[in-house]
Amino acid sequence: MRDRKKVTFDLGQEKITLIVPGEAEILAMKKCPPLPHPEAAIAASLKNPIDSPPLAQLAREKLRSHPLAQAVVVISDATRPVPYRGPQGILWPIINTLLEAGFPASRIKILVATGTHRAMTEAEIRRLLDPRVLSSGCPLINHEARREEELVEIGQTSWGKAQINRHYVAADLKILTGLVESHFMAGASGGRKSICPGLLAEEATYLLHSGPILNSPEACDLNLEGNPVHEASLAVARLAGCDFIVNVTLNSDFQLTGVFSGDMEKAHLAAVEKIRHYVGLPVKQKYDIVCTHSGYVGINHYQAAKGAAVCAPFLKPESYLLLAGVHPDTDPIGGANYKKMLRLLTEIGAASFVAKIISPDWEFVPEQWEAQMWTRILRIIPPEQLIYCSLDIPAENYSFLPHLDARRLVGEKKSLEELVQAALDRLIADWQKKYQRRPRLALLPDGPYGIPLLRQPSPKES
- Whether the per-residue pLDDT at 347 is higher than 60: the answer is yes
Count of CB atoms within 10 A of residue 355's CB? 14
- Whether the per-residue pLDDT at 454 is higher than 70: the answer is no
- Whether the per-residue pLDDT at 461 is higher than 70: the answer is no
Per-residue DSSP letter, 281: E
Would you say 259 and 283 are in contact if contact means Cβ atoms under 8 Å apart? Answer: no
Look at residue 2 in the predicted model and tell me its pLDDT. Answer: 60
Q: What percent of the chain has pLDDT over 90?
A: 78
Evaluate if pTM is beyond 0.75.
Answer: yes
Would you say 11 and 296 are in contact if contact means Cβ atoms under 8 Å apart? Answer: yes
| Single-letter amino acid, residue 216 | S
Look at residue 117 in the predicted model and tell me its pLDDT. Answer: 81
Question: Mean pLDDT over residues 206-224, rounded?
Answer: 86
Look at residue 458 in the predicted model and tell me its pLDDT. Answer: 33
Displacement of CA 36 from its chain's centroid (Å): 26
Question: Mean pLDDT over residues 103-129, rounded?
Answer: 90
Look at residue 307 in the predicted model and tell me its pLDDT. Answer: 93
| Single-letter amino acid, residue 312 | A
Binned at pLDDT 50, 70 and 90, residue 460 comes out as very low
Look at residue 121 in the predicted model and tell me its pLDDT. Answer: 85
Binned at pLDDT 50, 70 and 90, residue 277 comes out as confident
Would you say 104 and 142 are in contact if contact means Cβ atoms under 8 Å apart? Answer: no
Residues that are catalytic:
117, 183
Angle at 208 between CA 205 and CA 213, to 5 degrees: 150
Look at residue 453 in the predicted model and tell me its pLDDT. Answer: 76
Whole-angstrom distance between the N-terminal and C-terminal Cα of the chain?
Answer: 37
Displacement of CA 26 from its chain's centroid (Å): 22
Prior bond to 394 cis, omega within 30? no
Which residues, 6+ apart, have CB-to-CB distance to 360 below 8 Å? Answer: none
Look at residue 9 in the predicted model and tell me its pLDDT. Answer: 97
Question: Mean pLDDT over residues 86-90, rounded?
Answer: 94
More confident residue, 297 or 249: 249
DSSP3 helix / strand / coil % (the chain, rounded to 5): 40, 20, 40
Binned at pLDDT 50, 70 and 90, residue 284 comes out as confident
Sketch the domain layout of the chain as residue ranges.
4-30+284-454, 38-278
Per-residue DSSP letter, 64: H
Binned at pLDDT 50, 70 and 90, residue 368 comes out as very high
Strands 25-26 and 441-443: parallel
Question: Mean pLDDT over residues 210-233, rounded?
Answer: 90
Look at residue 456 in the predicted model and tell me its pLDDT. Answer: 41
| CA dist., res. 275 & res. 251, Å (int) | 9
Binned at pLDDT 50, 70 and 90, residue 357 comes out as very high
Look at residue 462 in the predicted model and tell me its pLDDT. Answer: 27
Averaged pLDDT of the chain: 92
DSSP SS3 for 291: strand
Task: Classify domain 38-278 at the CATH topology level.
Answer: Rossmann fold (3.40.50)
Q: What percent of the chain has pLDDT over 70?
A: 97
Give the model confidence (pLDDT) of 41-81 as tens digits: 999 999 999 999 999 999 999 999 999 999 999 999 877 88
Give the model confidence (pLDDT) of 70-84 as tens digits: 999 999 987 788 999
Give the model confidence (pLDDT) of 129-187 as tens digits: 999 999 999 999 999 988 999 999 999 877 678 999 999 999 999 999 999 998 888 99
Q: Mapped to the 3 state alphabet, what secondary structure does 217-264 carry?
A: CCCCCCCCCCCHHHHHHHHHHHHHCCCEEEEEEECCCCCEEEEEEECH
Look at residue 209 in the predicted model and tell me its pLDDT. Answer: 81
CATH hierarchy code of domain 4-30+284-454: 3.90.226.30
Question: Mean pLDDT over residues 301-309, rounded?
Answer: 93
